[in-house]
Amino acid sequence: MIRIAVVDDHHAVRLGLEAMLTAEPDMEPVGAAATAAETWPLLYRTAPDVVLVDYRLPDLDGLTVCQRIKAAPPAPAVVLHSAFADDGLTVAALVAGADGVVHKGAPGRDLAEAIRTVAAGARSLPALDPELVRAGAEVLDGEDLPILGMLLHGTSRDEIARILHLDAPALQARLADMLGALRARPIEPALESA
Amino acid sequence: MSIPLKAGVMIADDHGLVRDGLRVLIDAAPDLEVVSVAGDGIAAVERALDPRVHLAILDVAMPRRTGLQAARELARRRPELRILMLSMHDVDEYFLEAVKAGASGYVLKTVADRDLVEACRAALRGETFIYPGTVRALLREHLERAADADDGSDVLTAREQEVVKLVAEGHTSEEIAQALVISPRTVERHRENVLAKLGLRNRVELTRYAIRQGLVEP
């Protein structure tokens, strides 16, 4: 049974997700939080395998919540749930440590598959447009590009830390800086030329 | 009992300084709050019967009733209450006695700052809180028994058996992750599944097992 916790500030969405997850034979919704602040008590109480985090929350954004959840091992898998078909989100999600990104408008089947994929330890991210990756690389500090490269390649954080001779908090700080840079200059896909 | 996200805790210890220190640790956690304290075993039972209390932390040595006596009485009168003992000594047998009395485990006073909040959360999830040394001892005991039994009806998967062997040998999660080429999170998941399948998470099953194995008196 895959145990899933939901963090979303819309009551209707929480109810809808609970119903959808209950209907899946291999999934069990174990609780929901409406704010970032409630997320940690929820995680401590339910110890889920997967957490679905809304990208927009009233008190803290979903990327930061994701980053903080992943900073404390053993962390559950995190799937960012976005109402915006925002491809630029994927690079930031990668840096924040998300295991998956699913668009809220996608069919329930997509979300269920993403949950199964991340629960098994793999990633479920939308295909990354090379343009977006290039745009992301442009806003980042040169020293951080190897980290982005390794994240794109699927290298685990432990491996990255080992390769760069960083301890966990140091890598965490670098990732936080990278996230800050990506947020300050959001990536727009390059416009088609006329 | 449906436990709210911020659970109510009662601390019973006859030393005011210990109570105050534990209170600071617990109130600092976003999901816990101290709702009452007690200085002896009889007051401990009274306060822990209050429905605002979801978890009672009981010192082993208290005047008027010991922690174990208070735990037994509370387990009888309010079975849904979660209980944790506070102990000076790390003794495997003590862990089983505490569980038999109705507790989810014990926390060592000497390292309470590191373990207490984790233990509270485990207890509130309905899990037992077991120190690594005791987990190793219980798993080693299981391996010995499984070797003798030879009836081939092991409930563990091959991978889980590998993890059991490595944990019983004293390896850390990181070492096991590297040895088996899996992520530390997967190791944790296997560990949890093993503890659940062997009944070590379930207090009642664990107690029955311990009595059968002669690890505690019935």
The identity of residue A153, as a single letter, is H
On whether the CB atoms of residues B71 and B102 are closer than 8 A, the answer is yes
Q: What is the pLDDT of residue B174?
A: 85
Q: What is the pLDDT of residue A192?
A: 42
Of A45, A76, A77, the CB nearest to B5: A45
One domain, residues B58 and B120: yes
Question: How many CA atoms lie within 13 Å of B213's alpha carbon, on the beta-carbon side?
Answer: 15
* Model confidence at B117: pLDDT above 80: yes
For residues B91 and B116, what is the distance between their CA atoms, to the nearest angstrom? 17
CATH number at residue B148: 1.10.10.10
Instruction: Place A72 in a pLDDT band, splitting at 50, 70 and 90.
Output: confident
Peptide bond before B63: cis, by omega within 30 degrees of 0?
Answer: no
One domain, residues B115 and B138: no
Of A33, A74, A158, the CB nearest to B188: A74
Most A-contacting residue of B1, B2, B3, B5 (CB-CB within 10 A), to test interface: B5
For residues B28 and A17, what is the distance between their CA atoms, to the nearest angstrom? 32
Six-digit token pair at B148?
Answer: 């003798």
Tell me the percentage of chain A whose pLDDT exceeds 90.
59
CATH number at residue B89: 3.40.50.2300
Encode pLDDT of A111-136 as tens digits.
999 999 999 888 998 888 888 888 88
For residues B190 and B203, what is the distance between their CA atoms, to the nearest angstrom? 19
In a domain, B23, yes or no: yes
Cβ-based burial of B159 (10 A; exposed 0-12, middle 13-18, buried ≥19): middle
One domain, residues A143 and A98: no
One domain, residues B59 and B101: yes
* Model confidence at A191: pLDDT above 50: no
One domain, residues B171 and B71: no
Encode pLDDT of B122-135 as tens digits.
999 999 999 888 89
One domain, residues A14 and A106: yes
On whether the CB atoms of residues B63 and B71 are closer than 8 A, the answer is no
In a domain, A194, yes or no: no
One domain, residues A68 and A154: no
Is residue A169 less than 8 Å (CB to CB) from chain B? no
Encode pLDDT of A142-184 as tens digits.
899 999 999 988 888 888 988 999 988 899 999 999 998 887 7
Q: Across chain A, what does the average pLDDT equal?
A: 88
B7-12 β-sheet, strand order: B32-38, B7-12, B55-59, B82-87, B106-108
One domain, residues B91 and B164: no
In a domain, B1, yes or no: no
Residue of B nearest to A76 (CA): B185
One domain, residues B81 and B137: no
* Model confidence at B75: pLDDT above 60: yes
Which among B103, B124, B145 is the end of a domain? B124
> What phi-psi label fits residue A31: left (phi over 0), alpha (psi between -120 and 50 degrees) or beta?
left
Looking at A48-161, which runs of residues are DSSP E strands?
A: 50-54, 77-82, 100-103
In a domain, B139, yes or no: yes
Q: Identify all chain A residues contacting B5, using CB atoms and an 8 Å cutoff.
A: 33, 38, 41-42, 45
- Choose among A89, A102, A178, A172: nearest CA to A128: A89
Which residue reads 């993890």 in tokens? B163
For residues B51 and B59, what is the distance between their CA atoms, to the nearest angstrom? 21
Which residue reads 């590191």 in tokens? B114
Q: Give the list of residues 6+ apart from residue B160 with CB closer than 8 angstroms, or none.
A: B190, B193, B194, B197
Q: Give the list of residues 6+ apart from residue A142 with CB closer than 8 angstroms, or none.
A: none
Instruction: Place B94 in a pLDDT band, splitting at 50, 70 and 90.
Output: confident
Question: In sequence order, which ranges of A120-167 are alpha helices (DSSP H)?
Answer: 130-139, 145-153, 157-163
In a domain, B103, yes or no: yes
Q: What is the pLDDT of residue B150?
A: 60
- Choose among A60, A99, A101, A95: nearest CA to A177: A95
Task: Answer yes or no: is the ipTM higher than 0.90.
Answer: no
Look at the alpha carbons of A133, A134, A135, A140 in this order and tell me if their dihedral is positive or negative.
positive
- Choose among A125, A117, A126, A115: nearest CA to A51: A115
* Model confidence at A193: pLDDT above 50: no
**Domains in chain A, number:** 2
**Domains in chain B, number:** 2
On whether the CB atoms of residues B14 and B59 are closer than 8 A, the answer is yes
One domain, residues A110 and A179: no
Encode pLDDT of B136-188 as tens digits.
999 998 888 877 766 555 688 999 999 999 999 999 888 998 899 887 778 88
One domain, residues A152 and A67: no
Q: What is the pLDDT of residue B76?
A: 96
Instruction: Place A187 in a pLDDT band, splitting at 50, 70 and 90.
Output: low
On whether the CB atoms of residues A131 and A190 are closer than 8 A, the answer is yes
One domain, residues B12 and B106: yes
- Choose among A70, A37, A26, A25: nearest CA to A51: A70
* Domain enclosing residue A153, as ranges: 130-184
Of B3, B182, B184, the CB nearest to A74: B184
pTM of the model: 0.83
Inter-chain Cβ pairs, chain A and chain B, closer than 8 A:
40
One domain, residues A85 and A148: no
One domain, residues B46 and B118: yes
One domain, residues A135 and A113: no
* Domain enclosing residue B20, as ranges: 7-124
Cβ neighbours of B177 (radius 10 Å): 20
Which among B62, B97, B124 is the end of a domain? B124
